[in-house]
Structure 1
Amino acid sequence: MVYQFCIQHKVTFKYISNYRNLLTNLSGKSSIWSSGKFITIYPKDVHTFKKIIAKLYSLFTLHEIHKGIAILSDRRFKDSNVLFYRYGVITGPDTNIYKLNSKDVEYKDYVHSKYRLPEGLKEPFPNNIDDKKESKLLFKTIIPLKAVHSRASGSTFIALDKTNNQKFILKDSKPGFSEGGISAIASLKQEKQNLKKLAKFKFIPNYITSFKEDEDFLLCEQKMSGVDVDAFRASGDKNFLSSTKRKELFKLYQNTIINLISNLHELHQNNIFLGDISSTNILIDENTQSSSFIDISQSFNVLENKGKTLSSFRTPGFYNQNISNLPPLEQDNQQLGYLIISMFCRANMFLLVDKTGEMTFNFFKEYASINKIPRLFVETANKLIKNPSLNLSKLIDSLQHGNDTPFITEKTLSTQHIKDFESSLQKTVYLSQINKIPFKEIVPVELSSSDDFIFGDKLLALRIKILQNKDVILPDKVKSKVFASVNRLNYLLTNDTNNTFIKKLDIAKIFSLLLCAI
């Protein structure tokens, strides 16, 4: 309907034409600037904007839609659930909003999510339903202090209860967003129920309260101590190569991993399936060398919920392609194996390109060998991933009696042959530049030692010759210039902290430069 409307009124517009991208957008995983925006219309001026949005509002079907996604960066039109608008940059590298009739910058677009207009431009529709709303608890008795995790579908905050001066975790879920067939609000309500059911476990937050603000559902739960696994890996000096710290570091990892497995084992003994295990929903407290599970919206009792369909929206990078063939509790074990890998390095992220998990584990073994990671931890991760039906209590026992003997690989991974690398560079350069190939045959360009190969265009002729498998003979001065350009590129990548020059580089030119150097 909106498509036909825009065609009829000759209004420029765009829409999400890929169904998978649309589902991602409606899950709230897109940026705050795009989430919920299925169709975006670009009127040519303020007068046309007012006329178009009024006509859209008057359309019966749009006016009768009672549920929609609130666009956080935009302003609602009157009381509509699907019509929102904003003033901003349409396209181009310049994201500045300028003062009216001036070259002076007023503010940068896409920086502050709050809706705003340039000075001198009056609000076109000063009254809407949101202006009349008043909060019940937020910023009155419940004060959000700091954002912990932010998504368009709902954010997580550290908040303060003014009635008792206690800090806690505040989770917000917004209407309209859904993932895996479950709405963001339904998921948070499920977590509320799970917090109540699992209150006896000390490593799971206590439920405090929940409430609604407008159409949002909010959950308050205990703030657990510690940092997520990514922050744990990055914090402090976790270098097993240091002989002075190795014993201490081994004990930290040993006790923490034992605690992690023990907590999961305790849940499994009570027939509880945890569901989604990742580096963002597990907290580790280095002081107590203990862990907490902070996102349990997908948890359930496997005996009470026989035949229940498992959620398919686990965190990518923490399971392989075989997980759907495993019983629920074994799925937890496999995910925990990849979580343990993520405590040392990011090798688990290779699962995004190789779902078998082979690339992940091969890289982890190489990393462990180079950095002298204890064999005990490598084997623990391997057992959980390759044999998820194992007995967790026996695994805990082996960890308790293990030592810090370094892991050593049986063989080193083979290095890619230089010709394979050259071939891959050729393909990359060609594909990235295919729409820039000129209609007429390229005339050979005279190359000199004064040409700047990083920023210049003369590299194109040389690259095309290579792609055509023609013999290329470069004068010694030009050869020197090629290698000087490679060295300069390396210097800029290493030392140009402000990315002043790097931002100007065309990735195809970088590949072309490397190809010519080879």
Structure 2
Amino acid sequence: MEQQAALAAHHLFGLVDNRHYEPLSRRAITPQYRDALERLLPDTWVLERGDVWLHARMKAGGAGATEAAGPTGTRSSAGSAGATGPTASAGSVRRTAVPPTQGFKIHVSSTPAHTLRLFDLVVPVCVENGVEFKAAADPVMLNVINSKTQERGFSGKFMTVYPPDEDVFVRLIETLYRRTADEAVEGPYVLSDRRYRDSKVLFYRYGGFRPPRRLNIDGTQSTFLVSPDGTYVADERLPYFRLPPWVRDPFAGEPAEDATERPAGEPAATLLNGRYRIEGALAFSNAGGVYHGTDEATREPVVVKEARRLTNCWTSGERTVDSVDMLRHEYDVLRRLEGLAFVPRPVELFQEWEHTFLVEERVAGIAFHDFWAQDDVILAPYIRREGRVERFVPRFREVVGRLIHMVEEVHARGVVLGDLSPNNVLIDTETLRMSFIDFESAVHEDDEAALLSYGTRWGTPGFLHPDRATRDRLLPCDDWYAAAMLLYSSVVPATAFFALNPLAQDLFLDELVALGVPTQVRSVVSCLTAGRVDEAKSVLADWEDG
């Protein structure tokens, strides 16, 4: 979980500058969404940039909506000039002098392909009713919001609409539902919310509009709701729907969609597909969880990977792929590699509710980086201790031989791994038997262009070939470079520095060789870095003979 949080931080704060962490508010936005909103908003409204959002607000002192003549009457509004679309059937509302600090908010979810259409459907209704909103600032920001590394409680929210009170909320979400129900629009499930009816884009929760904030010691801020007795209660974005204890759901008597709804983003029951008993979680991401359990049919331990529709979308040309596409692709890769002793055996791919699940054999071992960090194994800080290098060398030599053989076997099946990193290699502490896991970035030479392109973009920093981002597909040299960095990390975990200073790669190894590490370590790493696999094998063979 901590590793996932670190990956999220790198992903978010590295978007602005690849050398320095910067907040997303420093990133210049592209004009697509701003232009679309300015076309739909009247002159009495203003757009303001805030972090990853564009906020649409009525100008101070500007004309807001006036009360309708009756519950089914129509109204005229200076705020509706230039807007199109039907008025709210239940009448319109007057803008409150002081906007509320909290209440029910409406979230509109969207995939990249449907954003402009949703603007056309939603914005006129908000303008007609004098209800303010915010939207993702541009397509890149929307991709961040729906990305794999996004916190699950924050994901999916393309637009947020702020009704001033509960009556307006109830009328407005129904109006939006009628506007969008017959449209070919959809978005990812907003895990923190409840889905409205059977809508594929409308969700709601109770939370802060302009909530009180507290600065935390780590520089982050916490937001709060205020209970009726004045108590501050944390305004948490959880990966499931939960109301504060004093708030009643106005739609509590209605099913959100049907009896199969599972809004938490996790398996609702411990038995999936009538066969797989879930016993715990290994990791969570916005794209879905990874669970461990037992196959009740065979009594064998399994790993179950989950994919949520329309999250982690990737567009190449006219083709858009999401987490489900990638999980299905991973299943195909596992089947291509079936029979290799170091690759988990695929068991089944199936869909339950709106989520897709991949079941595979659970293999034994600990993460590669955890193995080399063990007290009796770790090298770099204790290299001067008596016997430390002598204990390290046989392990390293054995791992090199096994790793080269494994990568060659994968390549012989026409597959490139794409994300060979310490997180994706398990090793047995006693036998040094290794296994590859997590084939999300793996590609086959016959894959379509969108999948080949995706593979070049998704990997672990510090283990990516320097030329990888300039290509439209992965090559075997990408895996050999990653293998070199994998071995490098077992000596000293410094590979993340090399993007900042490529000369550091030789510097660290030279210093370690001067401290007693055999020169063959440097030679093997250097050969694999350059893709000279046969030369690396020769170094290893001579080393073992010696």
Q: TM-score, normalised by structure 2?
A: 0.65
Report the Cα offset of residue 117 of structure 1: 0.9
User: Percent sequence identity over matched residues?
Assistant: 23
Report the Cα offset of residue 244 of structure 1: 3.5
Q: Is the 8 A contact 1:36 1:71 kept in 2?
A: yes
Give the AA of the match of 2:465: N
Q: Is the 8 A contact 1:255 1:290 kept in 2?
A: no
Give the AA of the match of 1:147: A
Q: Is the 8 A contact 1:190 1:298 kept in 2?
A: no
CA distance 1:389–1:163, change in 2 (3 Å) = closer
Q: Does 1:76 align with 2:195?
A: yes
CA distance 1:347–1:367, change in 2 (3 Å) = farther
Report the Cα offset of residue 202 of structure 1: 0.2
Q: Which residue of 2 aligns with 1:320?
A: 465
Q: Does 1:295 align with 2:438?
A: yes
CA distance 1:172–1:390, change in 2 (3 Å) = same
Q: Is the 8 A contact 2:213 2:224 kept in 1?
A: no
Q: Which residue of 2 aligns with 1:35?
A: 155
Aligned partner (choices 365, 369, 374) of residue 230 of structure 1: 369
Q: Which residue of 2 aligns with 1:342?
A: 489
Report the Cα offset of residue 185 of structure 1: 0.9
Report the Cα offset of residue 400 of structure 1: 3.3
Q: Which residue of 2 aligns with 1:214?
A: 353
CA distance 1:390–1:15, change in 2 (3 Å) = farther
CA distance 1:293–1:80, change in 2 (3 Å) = same
Q: Does 1:109 align with 2:235?
A: yes
CA distance 1:44–1:335, change in 2 (3 Å) = same
Q: Secondary structure at the match of 1:318?
A: coil
Report the Cα offset of residue 51 of structure 1: 2.6
Q: Is the 8 A contact 1:233 1:345 kept in 2?
A: no
Q: Secondary structure at the match of 2:207?
A: coil
Aligned partner (choices 521, 530, 534) of residue 377 of structure 1: 521
CA distance 1:174–1:314, change in 2 (3 Å) = same
Give the AA of the match of 2:206: Y
CA distance 1:376–1:389, change in 2 (3 Å) = closer
Q: Is the 8 A contact 1:350 1:359 kept in 2?
A: no
What is the CA–CA distance in structure 2 between the aligned matches of 1:142 and 1:159, rounded to whole Å? 7
Q: Secondary structure at the match of 1:312?
A: helix
Aligned partner (choices 530, 538, 544) of residue 386 of structure 1: 530
Q: Which residue of 2 aligns with 1:193?
A: 332
Q: Structure 1 unaligned runs (5+)?
A: 403-518
Report the Cα offset of residue 270 of structure 1: 4.2
Q: Which residue of 2 aligns with 1:485?
A: none
The count of corresponding residues between Structure 1 and Structure 2 is: 396
CA distance 1:198–1:75, change in 2 (3 Å) = same
Cα shift readout 1:466-503 (whole Å, capped 9, x = no counterpart): xxxxxxxxxxxxxxxxxxxxxxxxxxxxxxxxxxxxxx
CA distance 1:11–1:317, change in 2 (3 Å) = farther
Q: Is the 8 A contact 1:156 1:169 kept in 2?
A: yes
Q: Does 1:53 align with 2:53?
A: no
Give the AA of the match of 2:456: S
Aligned partner (choices 87, 105, 120) of residue 246 of structure 2: 120
Aligned partner (choices 3, 20, 30) of residue 140 of structure 2: 20
Give the AA of the match of 2:464: Y
Q: Secondary structure at the match of 1:212?
A: strand
Which protein is bigger by CA-based radius of gyration?
A: 1
Cα shift readout 1:225-253 (whole Å, capped 9, x = no counterpart): 11223333433341333213432232222
Q: Does 1:159 align with 2:290?
A: no
Q: Is the 8 A contact 1:384 1:390 kept in 2?
A: no
Q: Is the 8 A contact 1:175 1:215 kept in 2?
A: yes
Give the strand-richer structure, 1 or 2: 2
Q: Which residue of 2 aligns with 1:470?
A: none
Q: Alpha carbon RMSD of aligned pairs, Å?
A: 3.2
CA distance 1:156–1:31, change in 2 (3 Å) = same
Cα shift readout 1:88-113 (whole Å, capped 9, x = no counterpart): 3444434475673224456x333743
Q: TM-score, normalised by structure 1?
A: 0.68
What is the CA–CA distance in structure 2 between the aligned matches of 1:89 and 1:47, rounded to whole Å? 17
Cα shift readout 1:126-149 (whole Å, capped 9, x = no counterpart): 223455117899523423222222
Q: Structure 2 unaligned runs (5+)?
A: 1-119, 215-221, 316-320
Report the Cα offset of residue 371 of structure 1: 7.0
Report the Cα offset of residue 59 of structure 1: 1.2
Q: Which residue of 2 aligns with 1:139?
A: 270
Report the Cα offset of residue 340 of structure 1: 2.1
Report the Cα offset of residue 395 of structure 1: 4.9
Q: Does 1:262 align with 2:405?
A: yes
Q: Which residue of 2 aligns with 1:428?
A: none
What is the CA–CA distance in structure 2 between the aligned matches of 1:57 and 1:35, rounded to whole Å? 21
Q: Which residue of 1 aligns with 2:60?
A: none
What is the CA–CA distance in structure 2 between the aligned matches of 1:277 and 1:178, rounded to whole Å? 20
What is the CA–CA distance in structure 2 between the aligned matches of 1:371 and 1:93, rounded to whole Å? 52
What is the CA–CA distance in structure 2 between the aligned matches of 1:330 and 1:395, rounded to whole Å? 19
Q: Which residue of 2 aligns with 1:247?
A: 390
